[in-house]
Amino acid sequence: MHPALAVIFLTLFSGGGFGLMALTAIVNDFQIDGGLNPLQTMIALLVSLAFVSIGLLSSTAHLANPKNAWRAFTRWRTSWLAREGVFAVAYYPFAMLYLIWVFFTGHPAALPGLVLANMAALIGLITIFCQGMIYAVLRTIRQWNTPLVPANFYLMGLAIGATILVAIRWATGNPAPALLGTAAALLVLSAVFKGIYYFWISRPAGPTIRTATGFNRLNVRILDPGHTFGTFLTEEFGHTLAPASAHRIKALMYTIAYGVPLILLATVAQSNAAILAILAAVLVVGGIGIERWLFFVEAQHVINLYHGRQHC
């Protein structure tokens, strides 16, 4: 698949933003590490709103005809993309009202505020599920057609949110060992689930050139694709990655998204150096950005069968 930056940014940033909102609500609900103070809560909410907005605005850059984008809210009965749009927009009023509540009352853990926070968190989590299902429902792309996709989206969104929250806590001079442990655990879990996903998609399966042409008992080879230069189909679906470079990029991704941030978080626990927590959050976002790029470029659409691939 063509790795469009607009869609990579959409899933990466809005996933992280919703994950941050969910963790903010949980931390204030259960007063983990004493809960967030009003300033920390407001910073977390602003970062979350900014991330979600970056994601949603960049997604409109993927539209060839954005003047009809408002219609994307109409087909929520059948389309996961429309559902994602509806929930993503429904997130705003709750997150903003919570922000206003904290700003004027200074009580992030008071009941009316927590109701708003948990509504925003719930809607954000539902949006991540819708985002995952956009890809998971496509039977045409085996690498996406698995429940591991929404599971990975959840774990990565929550891991991004947790690391950012750790950075916010330490940067405002307020250590949070339980939160740091949560972030580390989410990073490890996210790395493990991504590993399971890579194992799952490592072998070809699904339709082959034989079922695609109906010559089920014969060897089928392409002689001519029927066009002289690229078409929409080859530009959109023709991207692929050589296995050797895929392995190298995956090693790089694991190092940036999981390895170095975990070491940095361990150092933060020892030294209280806030700058390392911020660096860890930046690395996690960047590393999961690489993961998202791989997610798109490694997806092999069955239309490639008609352009010379024997299986996908």
Partner 1 sequence: MRLGLVIDLDTCVGCHACAVACKEWNTSGTTGALTDYQPYGAKPSGVWFNRIRHYEIGDYPHNKTINFPMSCMHCENAECVTVCPTGASYKRAEDGIVLVDQSKCMGCNYCSWACPYGARELDRASGTMKKCTLCIDRIYDMEIPEEERQPACVLTCPAHARMFGDFDDPESPVSRAVRERGGYQLMPELNYNPSNHYLPPRVHAPIDTERMRQKGLRAVKDWIHRAVER
Q: Does 137 bind partner 1 (CB under 8 A)?
A: yes
Q: What is the spatial distance between Cα 283 and Cα 17, in angstroms, rounded to a whole number?
A: 16
| Contacts of residue 148, Cβ cutoff 8 Å, sequence gap at least 6 | 193, 196, 197, 200
Rounded distance between C-alpha atoms, residue 105 and residue 84, angstroms: 32
Contacts of 217 (CB under 8 A, 6+ apart): 210
With CB under 8 A as the contact rule, the residue among 32, 36, 47, 82 that binds partner 1 is 82
CB of 72 to partner 1, least distance (A): 4
Contact 44, 121 (CB under 8 A): no
Among 138, 171, 252, 279, which residue sits at the site for partner 1 (rule: CB under 8 A)? 138
Shortest distance (Å) from residue 94 CB to partner 1: 23
Residue 3 within binding range of partner 1, rule CB under 8 A: no
Residue 148 in contact with partner 1, rule: CB under 8 A: no
Interface with partner 1 (CB under 8 A), residue from 188, 233, 241, 260? 233
107 binds partner 1 (CB under 8 A): no
Nearest to 162 by CA among 64, 258, 63: 258
Nearer to partner 1, 250 or 311 (CB): 311
CA proximity to 291, closest of 240, 243, 255, 237: 255
CB of 239 to partner 1, least distance (A): 13
Contact set with partner 1 (CB under 8 A): 1, 62-69, 71-75, 78-82, 85, 134, 137-141, 206-207, 211-215, 218-233, 236-237, 301-303, 306-307
